[in-house]
Amino acid sequence: MASTGADYEEALAQAQELGFAEADPTEDVGGGDAAAKMALLAQLAFGGWVSLEDVVYEGIEKLTTEDIAYAKEFGLALKLLGTAERVGDAISVRVHPAFLYAGHPLASVNGSFNAVTIESQAITEMTLSGPGAGGPQTASAILGDVVSLMEGAPAIRPPAANAKLTEEVESAFYLHLEVADRPGVLAQVAKLLGEHGVSVKSVAQSGLGDNARLVMVTHPILEASFNSACEQLAGLEFIRSAPRAIRVIDEQFIG
């Protein structure tokens, strides 16, 4: 979608034709496949048990070429991002679409390639990338797992509890609003966002009449505060449809 301008259905059909998506793409586009992979990666990284039920995830079904085009104006690239982190004695894992700035090491990973960025106090940051879809790649990964099992992989101990952190997470956001084209709309939106502690970093306006659009990128904010602001925005009489929001990952961190 980002590279060719194809809509969601066209891009999905092409991915299936190339063997990058299953004939039944539900798990691919709904985030379930990435969530299962993140659960496994979290186990390997932190040595604790993580089930699929512990992962908070969402897919790419609602993404539009319009959002991708606006994001490019802000220097953003769209990715389906999985994040795992240790929170005290628990492990928090989540998967969701996100926009990344061009300087982020994952922003340039495209096509069938996958990448993993590892952050720690000792190494600061390290990124590994390579082919992540297709017959030979999948077969190689399966054989690697079989060999590990035959060699006797160490047991993974379950933690006392895993953390489903969603609204406690801080993130910047891309916000897309379809609005009535009249004076004062931007000021009212900015005022409401400010009341919830949401600070706007960049803004763009386009269209006329019923096709007017107000698009902005915020500074990082607690998801609980941002979600509350969006709920109130949806109730304003000049908002034509439900606000669309996508997380934006700052170029200095993943969170």
Distance between CA 243 and CA 220 in Å, rounded?
18
- What is the value of pTM for the model shown? 0.78
Is residue 21's pLDDT more than 70? Answer: no
Adjacent-strand bridge partners of 97: 80
Angstrom distances, CA of residue 230 to CA of 7, 100, 184: 26, 21, 18
CA separation for the pair 18, 198 (Å, rounded): 42
Q: Is 201 one of the annotated active-site residues of the chain?
A: no
Cβ atoms of 113 and 105 closer than 8 Å:
no
Q: Which of 99, 255, 230 is nearest to 170 (CA)?
A: 255
- pLDDT band at residue 221 using 50, 70 and 90 as cut-offs: very high
Identify the band that residue 254 occupies on the pLDDT scale cut at 50, 70 and 90.
very low
How confident is the model at residue 153, as a pLDDT?
67
Residue type, 127: T
Identify the band that residue 160 occupies on the pLDDT scale cut at 50, 70 and 90. Answer: low
Cβ count near 56 (within 10 Å): 18
Hey, what domains does the chain have and what are their CATH numbers?
A: 8-63+74-151 (3.30.360.10), 170-249 (3.30.70.260)
pLDDT of residue 188: 95
Query: Under DSSP, is residue 119 helix (H, G, I), strand (E, B) or coil?
Result: strand
The string of pLDDT tens digits covering residues 23-78 is: 777 788 889 999 999 998 998 888 888 888 889 999 988 888 889 888 888 999 99
Candidate list 37, 72, 191, 201, residue with the active-site label: 37
Residue carrying the six token digits 């054989």: 143
